[in-house]
């Protein structure tokens, strides 16, 4: 019996098929129990293929039309055209995709980092970005909006999906300094934690960067670290000394 997928959506993206998939409804077991969609994990390949096929079906596309890239925490964006070979794109080192091609789903994988889905309904342009702290700091969100505008987008909306929240994201002072060195105003995204360490507001920072780029943006409000039943979390798996972790998938299609 195929279990039911849990797909989070947001009204800001109404009219465009999209979803932030939780770990529920997948074929994986053990550490990866549920909907692990990472080919790069040590999960069973057949289970990952089954999970990805279920996501593609939910997105209304064939499994071969579920596009992604080899994510490396960069600010690089791939613009997908009708002539592109999606298998080649899958090996491309980048952290965001944009397209105006119908019948194609753009996807990113995350496990605490921000999955961000973008759309301009009127122009028929969509995007998806993987924005951890490094990618967000280096401009992946702005780069995604610029790539969308280059193919006709004007009025862009974006939603940040499940990501680690500030209450679970303790960082070092050197981490905070990386941000403050870029802009002293970024200090406002850090607050004191229980261990006299800064706590970083990743989704708050993502919203700030998106809105600064002229994008109407919201966060779904879900914390990956704090809800193990629904979400994979790199940081949680590290704290629990687990050897690996599953990755959540988020996707959008025209």
The answer to whether position 227 is within a domain reads yes
- The count of domains in the chain is 1
The answer to whether position 186 is within a domain reads no
- State the pTM of this model: 0.97
pLDDT at 1: 46
Q: Which residues pair with 170 in a beta bridge?
A: 199
CATH number of the domain residue 42 falls in: 3.60.140.10
The answer to whether position 131 is within a domain reads yes
Pick out the chain residues at pLDDT < 50.
1
pLDDT tens per residue, range 20-30: 999 999 999 99
The answer to whether position 171 is within a domain reads no
pLDDT at 40: 84
pLDDT at 42: 87
Q: In 10 A of CB 248, how many CB atoms?
A: 28
The answer to whether position 46 is within a domain reads yes
The answer to whether position 55 is within a domain reads yes
The answer to whether position 190 is within a domain reads no
Tokens of 35: 């909907």
pLDDT tens per residue, range 84-109: 889 899 999 999 999 999 999 999 99
Q: DSSP strand E in 52-177: where?
A: 66-67, 77-80, 96-99, 105-110, 114-120, 125-131, 157-160
The answer to whether position 2 is within a domain reads no
DSSP state of 240: T
């Amino acid at each position: 019996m195929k279990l039911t997928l849990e797909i989070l959506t947001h009204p800001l993206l109404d009219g465009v098929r999209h979803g932030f998939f939780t770990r529920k409804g997948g074929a994986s077991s053990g550490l990866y129990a549920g909907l692990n969609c990472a080919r790069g994990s040590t999960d069973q390949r057949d289970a990952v293929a089954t999970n990805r096929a279920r996501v593609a079906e939910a997105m209304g596309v064939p499994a071969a039309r579920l596009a992604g890239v080899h994510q490396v925490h960069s600010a690089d964006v791939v613009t997908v055209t009708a002539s592109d070979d999606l298998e080649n794109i899958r090996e491309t080192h980048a952290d965001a995709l944009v397209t105006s091609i119908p019948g194609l789903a753009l996807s990113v994988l995350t496990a605490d980092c921000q999955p961000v889905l973008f759309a301009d309904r009127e122009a028929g342009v969509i995007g998806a970005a993987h924005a951890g702290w490094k990618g967000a700091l280096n401009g992946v969100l702005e780069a995604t909006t610029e790539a969308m505008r280059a193919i006709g987008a004007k009025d862009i909306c974006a939603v940040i999906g499940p990501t680690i929240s500030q209450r679970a994201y303790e960082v070092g002072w050197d981490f905070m300094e990386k941000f403050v060195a870029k802009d002293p105003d970024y200090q406002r995204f850090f607050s004191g934690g229980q261990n006299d360490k800064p706590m970083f507001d990743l989704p708050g920072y993502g919203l700030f960067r998106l809105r600064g780029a002229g994008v109407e943006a919201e966060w779904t409000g879900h914390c990956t670290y704090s809800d193990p039943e629904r979400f994979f979390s790199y940081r949680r798996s590290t704290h629990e000394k687990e050897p690996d972790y599953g990755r959540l998938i988020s996707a959008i299609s025209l």
